Amino acid sequence: MKIKRIAIVGGGSAGWLSANHLGLELLRDSEVEITLIESVDIPVIGVGEGTVPALRASLQSFGIREADIILQCDATFKTGVKFVDWMTVDKREKDNFYYHSFDLTYPGGYDVTPYWLGSKNVEYSKLSSAYCLSEENRCPKRKSSPSYQGVINYAYHFDAAKFTTLLSDNAKKRFGIRHIFETIKQVALHEDGSIQGFYYESGEYEEFDFYIDCSGFSSVLFDKALAVPFVDRSDQILTDCALALQVATDPREEIFPYTKATAHGSGWVWDIPLTTRRGTGFVYSSQHMSDAEAISEFSKYHGKDLEDTDVRKIPMKAGFREKLWEKNCVALGLAGGFVEPLEATSLYVTDFCASMVAKRIPVTREEIPLYAKSCNAIARLIWDRVIDFIRVHYAVSNRRDTSFWRDVTEGVGLSDVLAERLELWRYSIPQRTDFPSTYDFFLVESYLMVLYGMDYPTRVPAMTERIGNLSKNAIVEHLSRSSELADSLLSQRQWLTEFKEYSATHKS
């Protein structure tokens, strides 16, 4: 039986990313109709404003103009994450930070890490060109940079609600996605347990052939109807609550081109600059900090007294569904899993899996088992390794000042893979070959920056004088080139202001 009617449940960023991916792949088949169902009574989560560079390629493939991301979503450019206070404060005093940048730390394409380990003559983060740009609030694009290209690698920060509208407008206009507002009250199942259709609150009933669950944490199809088990990873990831707060900014203020992640006694604070405001959030472990303490600590971060009512509390649970694909249904976005906001992994995983599924949407129901098995295996791999990468930020810290930091460094477990890797990296520098899977989303470059940003104690390898000198010179040249590059770029604020002025006078 041909699959002709596809339903996407949920109008958040996961739903609309999926709609664009499906639209792109299925446009050529005029017999297929894609419907996105959204409830007016159940709001979208409304956070999720930091991204990774991979999203650029998807947005471009959907036919979205980069100018529209900038102009319509209050977007700014992100060259990485600045981690502040993730190490013992008194060890590094005021320079207590490191970067995980999207630009690699291979000066001139050369891995200087073996030399660096022996000399530690500069902070490891400085081996990426992004360091200078970030510290000077520079824009990773020139005025002449083509759309979706920069002088170094970058991602976006954007207003989540406006981003969803942009995706939605594009999916409807370009791919003819049908969009309806209904709340699913009950899910009807076929005899084999697959999904047959929906009873809506409005009293209507509708059937589809294939279903994508993007209903957020409520996971209406995967959890409630299909009962796909949840793989709970809260034993490894202890942060389980976030307080979100948006703060207005002065339009003349510089815009830092990174997500700032400042550690505190029981978690960390995200700080994401947009052109019009900052999105901030206090992430914490409820086992280690009460809500009242969290609000008080968050108040300190903002330098003003916050009340319960000023912030939005969002509970989280680290883990993922045992399967991405069950019978005639796939779960994407928060319905499929979530770790925590660090490193913006959620939209990353959603975008990748939505693209993977869209390329594998079966033509007939009989093909489903062929695709489901491999997609499930890949999704499982992705989740396990993404959790490792988040976990490593906590695991290798030298902070022991609170029970939270003692627990995340010494108390709670690591996956077997991460435990083995960390043991190996005590003796030998991480290598590309330590990451044999294509679905390890964070590879050696990312691990190098986090591990050596946090002084991970790898044994210093022996090295000839010639290699030592080559590395030393590569670092010196790189530092001078990075500084020249930063000097040649506009500040992010100036670039964005001039871009907006130019766009206003050159409307197409």
Q: Active-site positions?
A: 78
**Angle, helix 368-395 to helix 416-427, in steps of 10 degrees:** 50
The least CB distance from residue 9 to ligand FAD, in Å, is 5
Residue indicated by tokens 């900052």: 278
Helix (H, G, I), strand (E, B) or coil at 179: strand
Of 379 and 414, nearer to ligand FAD (C-beta) is: 379
**Residue 281 interacts with ligand FAD (CB under 6 A): yes or no:** yes
Q: Is 135 left (phi over 0), alpha (psi -120 to 50) or beta?
A: alpha
Joined tokens for residue 492: 């992010």
Query: Which residues does 269 contact at the CB level (< 8 Å), separation at least 6?
Result: 260, 261, 262, 280, 281, 282, 283, 298, 301
Residue 428: how many CB atoms within 10 A of its CB?
Answer: 12
**Residue 18 interacts with ligand FAD (CB under 6 A): yes or no:** no
Interface pick for ligand FAD out of 6, 7, 26, 37 (rule CB under 6 A)? 37
The least CB distance from residue 14 to ligand FAD, in Å, is 3
Chain-centroid distance, C-alpha 448: 19
The least CB distance from residue 383 to ligand FAD, in Å, is 13
**Residue 396 interacts with ligand FAD (CB under 6 A): yes or no:** no
First to last CA, the chain: 45
What are residue 271's DSSP bridge partners? 260, 280
Residue indicated by tokens 């664009």: 20
Of 228 and 474, nearer to ligand FAD (C-beta) is: 228
Give, as ranges, the residues between 362 and 381 that touch ligand FAD (CB under 6 A): none
**Residue 114 interacts with ligand FAD (CB under 6 A): yes or no:** no
Site stretch for ligand FAD (CB under 6 A), options 41-49, 188-196, 381-389, 500-508: 41-49
Of 127 and 261, nearer to ligand FAD (C-beta) is: 261
Rounded CA gap, 177 and 172, in Å?
5
Interface pick for ligand FAD out of 7, 64, 167, 214 (rule CB under 6 A)? 214
Site stretch for ligand FAD (CB under 6 A), options 25-33, 339-347, 388-396, 412-420: 339-347
Binding track over 217-256 against ligand FAD, x by CB under 6 A: -x-x---------------------x--------------
The least CB distance from residue 312 to ligand FAD, in Å, is 9
Query: Which residues does 30 contact at the CB level (< 8 Å), separation at least 6?
Result: none
* Secondary structure letter of residue 354 according to DSSP: H
**Residue 47 interacts with ligand FAD (CB under 6 A): yes or no:** yes
**Residue 137 interacts with ligand FAD (CB under 6 A): yes or no:** no
**Residue 38 interacts with ligand FAD (CB under 6 A): yes or no:** yes
Site stretch for ligand FAD (CB under 6 A), options 230-238, 331-339, 371-379, 440-448: 331-339
Query: Which residues does 107 contact at the CB level (< 8 Å), separation at least 6?
Result: 127, 474, 475, 477, 478
**Residue 14 interacts with ligand FAD (CB under 6 A): yes or no:** yes
**Residue 397 interacts with ligand FAD (CB under 6 A): yes or no:** no
Rounded CA gap, 425 and 222, in Å?
39
Interface pick for ligand FAD out of 24, 32, 44, 475 (rule CB under 6 A)? 44
Determine the length of the chain.
508
**Do 123 and 479 form a contact (C-beta atoms < 8 A)?**
no
**Residue 333 interacts with ligand FAD (CB under 6 A): yes or no:** yes
**Do 397 and 84 form a contact (C-beta atoms < 8 A)?**
no
The one-letter code for the residue type at 189 is L
Strands 210-213 and 329-331: parallel
Site stretch for ligand FAD (CB under 6 A), options 38-46, 288-296, 460-468, 472-480: 38-46
**Residue 273 interacts with ligand FAD (CB under 6 A): yes or no:** no
Residues that bind ligand FAD (CB under 6 A): 9-15, 37-39, 42, 44-45, 47-51, 160, 183-184, 214-216, 218, 220, 242, 281, 314, 316, 333-335, 341, 344, 346-347, 350
